[in-house]
Structure 1
């Protein structure tokens, strides 16, 4: 029986919307990446989100750092989230892009495993099957070459694990703190950590690149907020599979901005991601 307020439906909506905004952000990253260093992109990605959330929290007279007893969860979300991004960017720079992408997208698998371990329960077979099918679908779209070196590949896998832990910490922090407080804390932490790298390797952007950097920050902020809202309505273990919709959005945006056609394998992958996500949604509805 479905809950009247349909919290799972709201969670799925926000996770999918988050995937869309992050995909748009990646378009800005790709356009600006021709001249702007990756750490500088990460810095502006979080700096702009920091100012936006600061203004919202100040206007609403909410807490910037949350309650003292909850800051450990905010820190865990920020620490693992930031280190996960850094590992992914390192992997992106030192291995085939498709290999890095598919390894990083294995994070929902780790979320499913870690959640079962923490809850001391056996893995849900249907949930596990849906996540694996979605992962296979992502492989069809990304089509990794698996020709990269071992160490960068391990770093990409570490990124997926760190992202999984970050999303679980986010899901837990949502029980105690408001979304904008969580996003603000993460943005502040990431901005401070990125600043030394920017100072060491700063590239002055032109007007066009400034607009792209602003776009990275705005769309990342929207993505972070929607992701936080999604995990507020439902645990990461239930809805993390819907982050695979980013593969679909990325394929569509590649057609629009980069004239890249969707081939047969990509189409099969999109169908697999959509089908597994829809089946998972029906399973969740059945058990609510």
Structure 2
């Protein structure tokens, strides 16, 4: 996910290593979706959501304790709540979508979020949208339409949920962009995992149902994959600027399509392939537009 934040004190640039770490981070994001699809056979979406965030919180609590009050103090708590709420709702939509439509389709539709960001930015600030950004968004939305009906099927709840997740993800990405101007990355992650765990807890309680003992292993793996994606993306931007490796965010679409094909035998149709190319291409055009506009350097986060 793309978020704006000025980076200082970075190590000497190593573009190859930065790109490799970024790609590995988004492979972990693809694993989160795949593990959620597997684990969802044994438990509810609410439980998946809770453990995805709770495991991350366990890793961040020692950091917060070590940092003390200066680490947790924030003047932008409301924006943290907005980010966590939008992100939690996004993941819920994605986890539901992958239970009824192919994993690759659900992920592609959800990760069309960058295409919605110019519209959200315009609604908030009435900031003029560049022609290149509009072209990129238009190309990407054509790809979305290809994926919505790849085999002439009717628009269903899974597709609607994934698209809702995309809009929510765009809101979460924009909120992190605003937070990134003043908040360090570790604090962003701490409040995200803390607030998302609190928000997911009542959903998990309502959705709770007994599950086999082996499900605990899958739930732990799901949470660990989420944490690992975060650690890798933070590490990646110590070695390379986001404007150069940011486009690797779209590798999650490719990884997910391969996993979906190998594990669940969902072979993408020609229209799905075309949709992938257009969504990725549209996103890259939009990224290029931002780079040309010389915006502040951005940091890409792997989760909402």
Give the TM bin, normalised by the shorter chain: 0.7 to 0.9
Contact 2:115 2:140 in 1 (8 A): no
| Cross-structure match for 2:206 | 200
Greater CA deviation, 112-121 or 153-162?
153-162
SS in 2 for 1:24: helix
Contact 1:179 1:229 in 2 (8 A): no
Assess, with a 3 A threshold, how the Cα gap between structure 1 residues 287 and 9 changes in structure 2: closer, same or farther: farther
Q: What is the 5 A alignment of 1:60-209?
A: 61=67, 66-89=72-95, 104-140=110-146, 143=150, 147-148=154-155, 157-209=163-215
Gaps of 5+ in 2: 1-9, 295-304
The CA RMSD measured in Å over matched residues stands at 4.2
Q: Encode CA deviations 1:72-98: one digit per residue, 9 max, x unaligned.
A: 2222211222233345556667x7568
Assess, with a 3 A threshold, how the Cα gap between structure 1 residues 127 and 55 changes in structure 2: closer, same or farther: same
| Cross-structure match for 1:51 | 58
Aligned residues: 280
Q: CA–CA distance in 1 between the matches of 2:204 and 2:285?
A: 44
Contact 1:76 1:169 in 2 (8 A): yes
User: 1:231 Cα deviation (Å)?
Assistant: 10
User: 1:218 Cα deviation (Å)?
Assistant: 1.3
TM-score normalised by length of structure 1: 0.74
Instruction: State whether structure 2 residue 227 is matched by structure 1 residue 210.
Output: no
Contact 1:19 1:246 in 2 (8 A): yes
| Cross-structure match for 1:42 | 49
User: 1:187 Cα deviation (Å)?
Assistant: 1.4
Instruction: State whether structure 2 residue 279 is matched by structure 1 residue 247.
Output: no
Assess, with a 3 A threshold, how the Cα gap between structure 1 residues 198 and 212 changes in structure 2: closer, same or farther: same
Instruction: State whether structure 2 residue 29 is matched by structure 1 residue 22.
Output: yes
SS in 2 for 1:176: coil
Contact 2:18 2:237 in 1 (8 A): yes
Contact 1:171 1:228 in 2 (8 A): no
User: 1:111 Cα deviation (Å)?
Assistant: 0.8
- The structure with the largest helix share of the pair is 1
Q: Encode CA deviations 1:147-180: one digit per residue, 9 max, x unaligned.
A: 246x887665544333222111111112212222
Q: CA–CA distance in 2 between the matches of 1:226 and 1:115?
A: 28
User: 1:194 Cα deviation (Å)?
Assistant: 1.9
SS in 2 for 1:203: coil
| Cross-structure match for 2:4 | none
TM-score normalised by length of structure 2: 0.71
Assess, with a 3 A threshold, how the Cα gap between structure 1 residues 24 and 51 changes in structure 2: closer, same or farther: same
Assess, with a 3 A threshold, how the Cα gap between structure 1 residues 230 and 276 changes in structure 2: closer, same or farther: farther
Assess, with a 3 A threshold, how the Cα gap between structure 1 residues 169 and 280 changes in structure 2: closer, same or farther: closer
Assess, with a 3 A threshold, how the Cα gap between structure 1 residues 280 and 168 changes in structure 2: closer, same or farther: closer
Q: CA–CA distance in 2 between the matches of 1:173 and 1:274?
A: 26
